């Protein structure tokens, strides 16, 4: 079989993607920063930085610290706000030549609803990813994501005003990730993204204080991959909407783990920092795997590790 | 300068290490075969580097371009051993492979006039200022390099500089070499002696930079500082390397990797880091 | 100051330890396997393998898989049962020359109570660690550890029959680790151990099936350290009983992170597999740190990273 | 054998790599300076090894002792490149440092009689059986080594063996060297020809071991197998390396690292792994 016969296209909750690789929110800016290294069209889709109603300054530095096979970030949702996004970024989005999703975060249910209502009429945006799992903000974020009833209410409100594909992003910090996933599904989510970062911290033993300005941050990278694969495995068995898997994907085999566990698509965050051409390399690796093992579409692999 | 949105795949290089020398206590100079970086590098820019492929250490590390020779396709780095990656680099032998992204970042402003400059380097802050010194000297722009270190053997010896025609004014904290004092003390001394350069450029520890900016301000001189921060992406995408600046009384975060590492020092909030 | 002036002794919930280093349950057998490399007396205490009422065969292989900066285990509480422990292991315990604690696990509340009642009269055992957080068993384990009310009931029952030091071991998989910690404290726990391993899985992409015989396993090692330090930071602020910190401690600086975050003692699991002399090296490192920074007792460091 | 509970701190060695040779496709032979291991090693025992100090890869890796020379203080390992650590080892140069624990595990039973033995090695399973061959030959015990490989250059060439006075009977799957077939086929052939050794020793893939055990059982011969499993502690503490055995109709797990790696093959449940 020829490498290019192996098809990677996918329809994700109504969005057609050229391949199942998605640039993870917060790790890819608005899609333009990496254009020296990779054509944005090499991605199936790009999820832009978490966006809020009003501009946010973000957390005080240091915002990053490396950990064994991972990193903590505490950006604190620094972003210029939805108005700036609409005015200055939206017009450039078609240049990216792949579907763009906006990751939204609010401090109240009403803020989420408003953001969704605004984006409902933005044709350049193919869908939203509702972030109920950011560990780095005082209000909102993961505090919403732990309570299934609250999640159901929140996503219900958003669903009422948002007609395009609606993805809900979850974190294992919630503890009961399956119940939360089911709640989002009941409330009308079209797909689920998991996982967001896991809350962690590092202490500087020389200075005897936490390294991060925000004290705690979110753990990403290969360190969390086993936890993320397990979350995808459990959630994809419990819901019948597509799951987007992420957490520490560095190479094709890692993406395959998520797909075999039940993910329909995968997102890549931290790996971009190490290898800006990672999306191109992973597509090639997936094609190679399909060829080597005699599959004609990666769809045949989704959940294939389940007995 | 590189056009921002051009797909230039060779900006990820697998470079070969050509030469590595210990040039001072804990300092190593590395010469790399890196055609694209050598062709485009500007003083103040950096490369984001990785040696090996294990996931610990996970992230790349930034190092200033210490010199670039576009005919020989080579760049130089000057590295102080600080932890995991820098010690691994120090242990490499010629022929070793290093993966780099770059050149990245916004470097020192290109001289738009025939102005003179004072360059103030604290310790390893010498790395980018050395490249600037060489480029300015090559363009025959009046340039004076002030260099501070803890002690004599914490700095490269004279031959390191003289070979390139560089003649820094040196100070050490213990007075074991040059003046007794810091690089900022040298600057103060030069300014007190009536020298008035068009610009001051500085790179070194935060406390030094704060003092250099203040000295410049007192004399009404613009100061450009090269800042440090812990980087992840190094291309402006993650907002992890934020450095606080004060504008109209509110704090705004700028990206060391992309908006800098070189900034006008005036608004930088050194007291917040 | 002389290195040996720096004191590491600690009274942990009534047990005197020569130093704050504890061999973590499940990683040190019954304390005898490492005697070629290190004197068991180099430890402050040893917690033996999770023990159940009846013998347990454990999970089918493979039981281990390496992950980035970590490992998954799914031993499944293989152990010879409490009767064997009393008959064959108990008489040898004095040879270890340091306090020994028994980690207990049950499938029902009643089993926990019985185990505690039996151990209450065993003088060779200085205390028990109640494992309500094992991710690798079908019944019991982490299923108990997620519900504060259930934890309060369970620990209350155990407390009624157990008079010696009672430690409760928690996992961040519970989601609300602080509420669970508070419940255990209310019910009369003398100390808390955190964290147990985090549930994860790895898929073999060549075979297209989970690597572990048990499908999922528990993640330990440096990968989880930031999550563990954060758990200690949060829990030690919420309860006034001592916290034993663990998760990825490999060297003295790592132990210090936990102590500075609020741990009174630390346990070491996975690191023994890499360096059997790790306890001795960490004691030396702690003493060196105390000397270098002018402290006379590591007690001064407990929680010192808190502003 | 080492007394189990004696504190012998030099059982953690920082060893120097003395020599490294490629001996077959993907196979390397390493000679290490390791006095304690060399002094105590018994055939079938292994060392648990780590090169480097990063946390990825995290765990040590087990390798059989391939030969030990207590006068020269050296042990030999025979390594097939399989992944991260084995490729790193293959890339080491003499002078490199490797940290080992060992010798560990329960090796092949010491010959208590003058009996003869057939040794059946599948591929890299040669590593421990070679040491056993040498020790038995030195004790003048009748010993025949059967070795199977995929193809000719997947096995060391004749000089590798002849230098040590070892003369294996070889089979390859493609018939490119020796007989066409597997090591188990060689065993079958020898048994069919009427050879009746006192014992059979085997090391290789699980499917091969299962067949060797069955062939032995059919002739009423005891078979000792060296088993593999993924190890963590390698000292018996973690119960991670469990291998299933059948006793009185119930499954019992034994520790490959401590109860083995060498077991009587009779009760091993190869079908469960
Ligand atoms: C734009 C830029 C240019 C630089 N140029 C040079 C250069 O030319 N030569 C040179 O020697 N160094 C330079 N540095 C610093 C260099 O990147 C760090 O020393 C290096 O990343 C340390 O890596 P490591 O793995 O050896 O240390 P690690 O093991 O990562 O850390 C060792 C210690 O250093 C601290 N640290 C690590 N990185 C930084 C950082 N970026 N800022 C402050 N503290 C840090 C850690 O918190 C830790 O305490 C530059 C940094 C930046 C941001
Ligand atoms: C007691 C014992 C003695 C051994 N002696 C030798 C020897 O003398 N020479 C030799 O070359 N090898 C020997 N091995 C096997 C050797 O330990 C593994 O090949 C090695 O650990 C692979 O490490 P790696 O980092 O290169 O591969 P990894 O990157 O860890 O893994 C590569 C692949 O091999 C698999 N794998 C890793 N370890 C094992 C294992 N123990 N069993 C089965 N599959 C595994 C992984 O799942 C993966 O698919 C022995 C194993 C045991 C248990
Ligand atoms: C620097 C950084 C910023 C992030 N910002 C966001 C964000 O704004 N919204 C969000 O939903 N997730 C955010 N994430 C989480 C990632 O999208 C992703 O879920 C997580 O990092 C796990 O994937 P990875 O291991 O591939 O990075 C961020 C992650 C990083 C590392
Ligand atoms: C192989 C293995 C077996 C374990 N068995 C137990 C157990 O029986 N009971 C228990 O409470 N914790 C058990 N644990 C968890 C450890 O005690 C410890 O909480 C965890 O591994 C984190 O510490 P570490 O990263 O230092 O290993 C086990 C861990 C490992 C790696
Ligand atoms: S390091 Fe990512 S924006 Fe600067
Ligand atoms: S590897 Fe730990 S018991 Fe065998």
What would the pLDDT profile of C47-75 be if each residue is shown by its tens digit?
999 999 999 999 999 999 999 999 999 99
Q: Is residue B268 classed as helix, strand or coil in its secondary structure?
A: strand
Residue C30 CA from chain centroid, whole number: 14
Q: Which position has the higher pLDDT, D95 or A41?
A: D95
Nearest to A233 among C201, C301, C304 (CB): C201
| pLDDT, position A140 | 57
D109 in any annotated domain: no
| pLDDT, position C162 | 97
Q: What is the mean pLDDT of residues C93-105?
A: 95
Q: How many domains does chain D have?
A: 2
| pLDDT, position C142 | 56
Where would I find the beta strands (DSSP E) of B106-249? 117-122, 143-149, 169-172, 179-180, 199-203, 223-226, 242-247
Q: Which residues span the domain enclosing B37?
A: 4-104
Q: Do A63 and B239 touch (CB under 8 A)?
A: yes
Which residues surround ligand 5 with Cβ inside 6 Å? B 231-234, 236-241, 255-258
Note whether D1 contacts C: Cβ–Cβ < 8 A: no
Handedness of CA A201, A206, A208, A213 (dihedral sign): negative
Residues D121, D100: one domain? no
Nearby residues of A123 by Cβ (< 8 Å), 6 or more positions away: none
Minimal-distance CA residue to ligand 2 atom 5? D63
Whether residue D7 is predicted with pLDDT greater than 70 in this model: the reply is no
Residues D98, D210: one domain? no
Q: Residue B170's domain is classified under what CATH number?
A: 3.40.50.80
Residues D35, D169: one domain? no
Instruction: State which of D78, D82, D156 you would mutate to test the pocket of ligand 2, scoring each by most atoms of that ligand within 8 A of its C-beta.
Output: D82
Read off the DSSP letter of residue B256.
Answer: T
Q: What is the pLDDT of residues B171-230, one digit of tens each?
A: 999 999 999 999 999 999 999 998 889 999 999 999 999 999 999 999 999 999 999 999
Q: Residue D46's domain is classified under what CATH number?
A: 2.40.30.10
A307 in any annotated domain: no
B138 in any annotated domain: yes
Residues D45, D134: one domain? no
Q: Is residue B44 classed as helix, strand or coil in its secondary structure?
A: coil
Q: In the listed set B104, B126, B145, which residue is the last one of a domain according to the structure?
A: B104
B110 in any annotated domain: no
CA of A260 to the centre of ligand 6 (A): 29
Q: Which residue of D has its CA nearest to B56?
A: D56
Q: Chain C neighbours among B 30-59 (CB < 8 Å)? A: 55-56
Whether residue C77 is predicted with pLDDT greater than 70 in this model: the reply is yes
B259 near B268, Cβ under 8 Å? Answer: no
Residues B129, B217: one domain? yes
Q: What pTM did the predictor assign? A: 0.96
Residues of A noted as catalytic: 134
Residues D125, D253: one domain? yes
CB distance B153 to ligand 1 below 6 Å: no
CB distance D236 to ligand 6 below 6 Å: yes
Note whether D93 contacts B: Cβ–Cβ < 8 A: no
Peptide bond into A20 cis (omega under 30): no
D263 near D225, Cβ under 8 Å? Answer: yes
A152 in any annotated domain: yes
| pLDDT, position C174 | 78
Q: Comparing C-alpha atoms, which of A177, A273, A66, B57 is closest to residue C226? A: A66
CA of A26 to the centre of ligand 3 (A): 5
Q: In the listed set D104, D135, D158, which residue is the last one of a domain according to the structure?
A: D104
Peptide bond into A62 cis (omega under 30): yes
Q: Which residue of A has its CA nearest to C228?
A: A200
Whether residue D6 is predicted with pLDDT greater than 60 in this model: the reply is no
Residues B143, B253: one domain? yes
Lookup result for tokens 């190490």: A274
A208 in any annotated domain: no
Where would I find the beta strands (DSSP E) of chain C? 10-12, 15-17, 21-23, 45-51, 64-67, 70-73, 100-104, 127-131, 166-170, 191-194, 198-200, 203-204, 209-210, 217-220, 243-246, 265-268
Q: What is the mean pLDDT of residues C127-152?
A: 77
Q: Do C68 and A289 touch (CB under 8 A)?
A: no
Distance CA C208, CA C216 (A): 15
Q: What is the pLDDT of residues D53-77, one digit of tens each?
A: 889 999 999 999 999 999 999 999 9
Whether residue D2 is predicted with pLDDT greater than 50 in this model: the reply is no
Residues D94, D221: one domain? no
Distance CA C131, CA C158 (A): 12
| pLDDT, position B218 | 93
CB distance C196 to ligand 4 below 6 Å: yes
Give the DSSP H/E element, type plus range, for residue C44. none
C274 in any annotated domain: yes
D175 in any annotated domain: yes
CB distance C248 to ligand 4 below 6 Å: yes
A61 near B229, Cβ under 8 Å? Answer: yes
Q: How many domains does chain A have?
A: 1
A14 in any annotated domain: yes
Q: In the listed set D82, D104, D126, which residue is the last one of a domain according to the structure?
A: D104
Q: Which residues span the domain enclosing A177?
A: 3-58+76-198+221-301
Q: What is the mean pLDDT of residues D198-213?
A: 96
D55–chain A nearest CA distance, Å: 7
Q: What is the pLDDT of residues C277-299, one digit of tens each?
A: 999 999 999 999 999 999 999 99
Residue C305 CA from chain centroid, whole number: 23
Interface partners of D (3+ CB pairs, < 8 Å)?
A, B, C
| pLDDT, position C5 | 62
Catalytic residue (choose from C27, C134, C264, C291): C134
D112 in any annotated domain: no
| pLDDT, position B7 | 47
Nearest to A69 among B56, B238, B242 (CB): B56
Note whether D53 contacts B: Cβ–Cβ < 8 A: no
B112 in any annotated domain: no
Q: What is the mean pLDDT of residues C208-227?
A: 98
CA of D172 to the centre of ligand 3 (A): 52
Note whether C229 contacts A: Cβ–Cβ < 8 A: yes
DSSP secondary structure letters along D34-47: -HHHHHH--TT-EE
Q: Chain A neighbours among B 113-152 (CB < 8 Å)? A: none
Contacts of C70 in chain D (CB under 8 A): 58
Q: Comparing C-alpha atoms, which of B49, B87, B90, B103 is closest to residue B231? A: B49
C38 in any annotated domain: yes
A71 in any annotated domain: no
Which residues surround ligand 3 with Cβ inside 6 Å? A 24-27, 49-50, 73, 75, 77, 103, 131, 134, 169, 196-197, 220-221, 246-249, 268-271; B 238, 240
Interface partners of C (3+ CB pairs, < 8 Å)?
A, B, D
Distance CA B210, CA B207 (A): 5
Q: Which atom of ligand 2 is nearest to the CA of D228?
A: 53
Contacts of A146 in chain C (CB under 8 A): 175-176
Q: Is residue B49 classed as helix, strand or coil in its secondary structure?
A: strand
Contacts of B58 in chain A (CB under 8 A): 66, 69-71, 221-222, 270, 274
Which of D52, D53, D55 is most worth mutating to test chain A (most A CB atoms within 10 A of its CB)? Answer: D55
Whether residue C204 is predicted with pLDDT greater than 80 in this model: the reply is yes
Q: Which residue of C has its CA nearest to D61?
A: C274
Q: Predicted confidence band at B1 (pLDDT cuts at 50, 70, 90)?
A: very low
Q: Which of B48-62, D30-44, D90-104, D108-122 has the lowest mean pLDDT?
A: D108-122
Interface partners of B (3+ CB pairs, < 8 Å)?
A, C, D
Q: Predicted confidence band at C143 (pLDDT cuts at 50, 70, 90)?
A: low
Q: What is the pLDDT of residues C168-185, one digit of tens each?
A: 999 988 778 999 999 999
| pLDDT, position D1 | 42
Does the predicted interface ipTM exceed a cut of 0.90?
A: yes
Q: Is residue A241 classed as helix, strand or coil in its secondary structure?
A: coil
Q: Chain C neighbours among A 185-204 (CB < 8 Å)? A: 198-203
DSSP secondary structure letters along D102-165: EEESB-SPPP-SS--EEEEEEGGGHHHHHHHHHHHHHTT--EEEEEEESSGGGS--HHHHHTTT
Residues B125, B258: one domain? yes
Q: Predicted confidence band at D3 (pLDDT cuts at 50, 70, 90)?
A: very low
C71 in any annotated domain: no
Residue C45 CA from chain centroid, whole number: 11
Ligand closest to D232 (CA) is 6
Q: What is the mean pLDDT of residues D135-141?
A: 91
Distance CA C245, CA C255 (A): 8
Query: Phi and psi at residue A299, in whole multiples of 5°?
Result: -55, -35
Query: Average pLDDT per run of 10 along chain A, which is 307 residues long?
Result: 73 94 97 89 95 95 98 96 96 95 94 96 96 68 75 95 97 88 97 97 98 97 98 97 98 98 98 96 95 93 95
DSSP secondary structure letters along D240-272: TTEEEEEETTEEEEEETTTT-BEEEGGGB-GGG
CB distance D234 to ligand 6 below 6 Å: yes
Q: Residue A54's domain is classified under what CATH number?
A: 3.20.20.70
Residues B14, B134: one domain? no
Q: Give the mean pLDDT of chain C.
A: 93
CA of A286 to the centre of ligand 6 (A): 35
CB distance C158 to ligand 4 below 6 Å: no
């Amino acid at each position: 079989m020829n490498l290019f016969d192996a098809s990677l296209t996918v329809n994700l909750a109504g969005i057609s993607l050229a391949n199942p690789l998605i640039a993870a929110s917060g790790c890819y800016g608005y899609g333009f920063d990496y254009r020296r290294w990779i054509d944005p069209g090499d991605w199936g889709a790009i999820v832009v930085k978490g966006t809020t109603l009003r501009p946010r300054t973000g957390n005080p530095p240091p915002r990053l610290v490396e950990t064994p096979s991972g990193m903590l970030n505490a950006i604190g949702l620094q972003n210029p706000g939805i108005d700036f996004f609409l005015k200055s970024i939206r017009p450039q989005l078609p240049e990216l030549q792949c579907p763009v999703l906006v990751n939204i975060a609010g401090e109240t249910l009403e803020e989420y609803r408003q953001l969704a209502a605004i984006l409902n009429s933005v044709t350049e945006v193919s869908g939203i990813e509702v972030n109920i799992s950011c560990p780095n903000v005082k209000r909102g974020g993961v505090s919403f994501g732990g309570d299934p009833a609250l999640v159901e209410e929140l996503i219900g409100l958003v669903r009422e005003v948002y007609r395009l594909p609606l993805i809900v992003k979850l974190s294992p910090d919630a503890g009961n990730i399956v119940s939360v996933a089911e709640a989002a599904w009941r409330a009308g989510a079209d797909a689920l993204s998991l996982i967001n970062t896991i809350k962690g911290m590092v202490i500087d033993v020389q200075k005897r204080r936490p390294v991060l300005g925000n004290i705690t941050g979110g753990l990403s990278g290969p360190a969390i991959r086993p936890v993320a694969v397990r979350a995808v495995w459990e959630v994809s068995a419990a819901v019948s909407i597509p799951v987007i898997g992420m957490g520490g994907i560095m190479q094709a085999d890692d993406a395959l783990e998520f797909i075999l566990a039940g993910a329909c698509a995968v997102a890549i965050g931290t790996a971009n920092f190490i290898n800006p051409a990672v999306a191109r390399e992973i597509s090639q690796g997936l094609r190679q795997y399909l060829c080597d093992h005699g599959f004609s579409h990666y769809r045949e692999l989704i959940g294939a590790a389940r007995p | 300068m590189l056009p921002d949105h051009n797909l230039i795949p060779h900006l990820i290089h697998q470079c070969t290490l050509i030469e590595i020398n210990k040039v001072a206590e804990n300092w190593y100079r590395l010469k790399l075969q890196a055609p694209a970086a050598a062709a485009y590098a500007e003083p103040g820019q950096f490369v984001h580097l990785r040696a090996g492929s294990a996931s610990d250490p996970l992230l790349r590390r930034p190092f200033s371009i210490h010199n670039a020779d576009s005919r020989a396709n080579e760049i130089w780095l000057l590295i102080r051993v600080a932890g995991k990656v820098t010690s691994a680099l120090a242990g490499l032998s010629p022929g070793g492979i290093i993966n780099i992204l770059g050149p990245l970042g916004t470097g020192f402003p290109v001289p738009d006039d025939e102005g003179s400059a004072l360059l103030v380097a604290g310790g390893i802050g010498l790395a980018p200022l050395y490249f600037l010194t060489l480029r300015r000297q090559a363009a025959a722009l009046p340039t004076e390099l002030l260099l501070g270190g803890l002690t004599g053997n914490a700095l490269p010896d004279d031959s390191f500089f003289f070979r390139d025609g560089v003649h820094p004014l040196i100070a050490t904290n213990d007075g074991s070499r040059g003046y007794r004092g810091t690089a900022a003390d040298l600057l103060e001394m030069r300014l007190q002696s009536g020298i008035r350069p068009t610009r001051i450029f500085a790179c070194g520890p935060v406390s030094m930079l704060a003092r250099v900016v203040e000295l410049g301000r007192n004399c009404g001189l613009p100061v450009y500082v090269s800042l440090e921060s812990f980087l992840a992406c190094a291309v402006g995408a993650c907002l992890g390397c934020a450095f606080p600046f004060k504008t109209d009384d509110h704090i705004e975060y700028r990206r060391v990797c992309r908006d800098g590492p070189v900034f006008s020092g005036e608004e930088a909030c050194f007291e917040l880091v």
